[in-house]
Amino acid sequence: MKEQLEAIRKKAIEAIGGAEAAADLESLRVKYLGKKGELTAVLKQMGGLSAELRPVIGQLANEVRASVEKAIEAQSAIVSERALAARLEAETLDVTIPGKKVPQGHKHPMYAVLDDIKEIFIGMGFEIFDGPEIERAEYNFTKLNAPEDHPSRDWTDTFYLTEDSSVLLRSQTSPVQIRAMETHGVPIRMISPGRVYRKDEVDATHSPMFHQIEGLVVDKGITMADLKGTLNTIIREIYGPETKTRFRPHHFPFTEPSCEMDIQCHKCGGVGCPTCKGEGWIELLGAGMVHPKVLRNCGVDPEEYSGFAFGFGLERLALGQYKISDMRLIFENDIRFLEQF
Ligand code: PHE
């Protein structure tokens, strides 16, 4: 039996030394040390040994097991080292190959203008409000004091979403005035930029979807002088300190008195050119003192508080700033156009 054990040791260690892969080592382990392995088979015969021989053979069997295990361990270290070396060889990395450039986009020019405008207003203590684009007629018209027969309520002008004309795509950002006063209360100083929708045909100056920026200031003692001073300051921040402005009387249901603000044409300096259609002035925004009825509709006492509101088109402002003549360029997302900014 002693010879048998020694033979197993010799055979096993030789085989292990020649193993090239971890899987081969595992099958050798099973072959020699496993439950049905050669060593176990020899040990099963130990019952027939004499009392003196049994511990001697037992000890030898343990030694054989230990040396086979050690050989497997040593060989597996060699095998995995070789595998790593082979992988390193196969996967060499050439750090001198030039990198691949990941193309990076940038802000849309109109949103760059919007961010500048927001900064200016925030600097003057305004908060930014957001409102829903799917709006109730109550907020888009009724609470803003628009009479039942106001032309802007017509189905030919506004996108209604329900047969009963109660829900629509907002046609202006003015409903956010109402929402802001209802949720925030007064005093308030806010602007609210966002998309608005009107049934307009697409051309160089119209789109069924465009952007407005609404503004609202309500406090004690606010007058038309605050309206003019604030808007002049902001327009000069945007267009430069020399910019000339003018205010013309106008009508909006939700402001009284109402006005429109023009700036002197930046292209011709007021002489008249195609950009200003020969007028010398470009209409920029609508504004006015918040109508007492609108304040009352929001639970604000017009005897105690007064305010002004304004609304302007973001596209027109961006077009003016970048001296672009066609609004469609803003929405077409033509990379050749956008990359110029
Ligand atoms: N909502 C008006 C429009 O779309 C603009 C406006 C806003 C006028 C606030 C006065 C006050 O034309």
Lining residues, ligand 1, CB within 6 Å: 172, 174, 252, 255, 286-288, 309-311
Give the Å distance between the CA of 198 and the centre of ligand 1. 14
**Helix %, strand %, coil % for the chain, to 5?**
45, 20, 35
**Calpha distance 292→260 (Å, rounded):** 19
Say how many Å lie between the CA of residue 215 and the centre of ligand 1.
9
Q: What is the pLDDT of residues 195-244, one digit of tens each?
A: 999 999 999 889 999 999 999 999 999 999 999 999 999 999 988 899 99
The alpha carbon of 24 and the centre of ligand 1 are apart by a number of angstroms equal to 83
pTM above 0.85, yes or no: no
C-beta separation of 2 from 57 below 8 A: yes
Atom 5 of ligand 1, nearest CA residue: 311
Residue whose structure tokens are 């190959």: 97
**Which ligand 1 atom minimizes the distance to the CA of 177?**
9
Statement: residue 53 has pLDDT above 90: no
Select from 140, 254, 259 the residue to mutate for testing ligand 1; criterion: most ligand atoms less than 8 Å from CB: 254
Q: What is the atom index within ligand 1 of the atom nearest the CA of 308?
A: 11
- Residue 179 CA, chain-centre distance (Å), reads 25
Q: Kindly state the percentage of the chain with pLDDT values over 90.
A: 60
> Which residues contact residue 284 at a Cβ distance below 8 angstroms, ignoring those fewer than 6 apart?
235, 245, 260, 261, 262, 263, 312, 316, 317
Q: For the CA atoms of 35, 37, 43, 47, what is the dihedral angle to 10 degrees?
A: 70
If DSSP codes are grouped into helix, strand and coil, which group holds residue 213? strand
Determine the distance from the C-alpha atom of residue 274 to the mean position of all C-alpha atoms in its chain, rounded to a whole number.
39
Q: Return the SS3 of 136.
A: strand
Which of 145, 157, 252 gets mutated to test ligand 1 (max ligand atoms within 8 A of its CB)?
Answer: 252
**pLDDT at position 331, please?**
92
Query: For residue 50, what pLDDT is reported?
Result: 83
Task: Compute the distance between CA of residue 258 and CA of residue 253 in angstroms, rounded to an integer.
Answer: 9
Cα torsion at 141, 143, 146, 147 (round to 10°)?
110
Instruction: Yes or no: say if 319 and 211 are a contact pair by the CB < 8 Å rule.
Output: no
CA of 210 to the centre of ligand 1 (A): 14
- Asked whether 1 and 42 are in contact (CB, 8 A), the reply is yes
The residues near 173 (Cβ < 8 Å, ≥ 6 apart) are 131, 192, 193, 194, 196, 212, 213, 214, 311
> Quick one: which atom of ligand 1 is closest to the CA of 196?
4
| Residue 122 banded pLDDT, cuts 50, 70, 90 | very high
- Which pLDDT score is estimated for 93? 83
Dist. CA 53–CA 25, nearest whole Å? 32
Nearest CA residue ID for atom 9, ligand 1 = 310
Tell me what the pLDDT averaged over the chain comes to.
92
**162 is written with which tokens?**
């329900």
Mean pLDDT of 50-77: 85
Cβ atoms 153, 166 nearer than 8 A:
no
Residue carrying structure tokens 């050119």 = 273
CA-nearest of 129, 176, 169 to 152 is 169
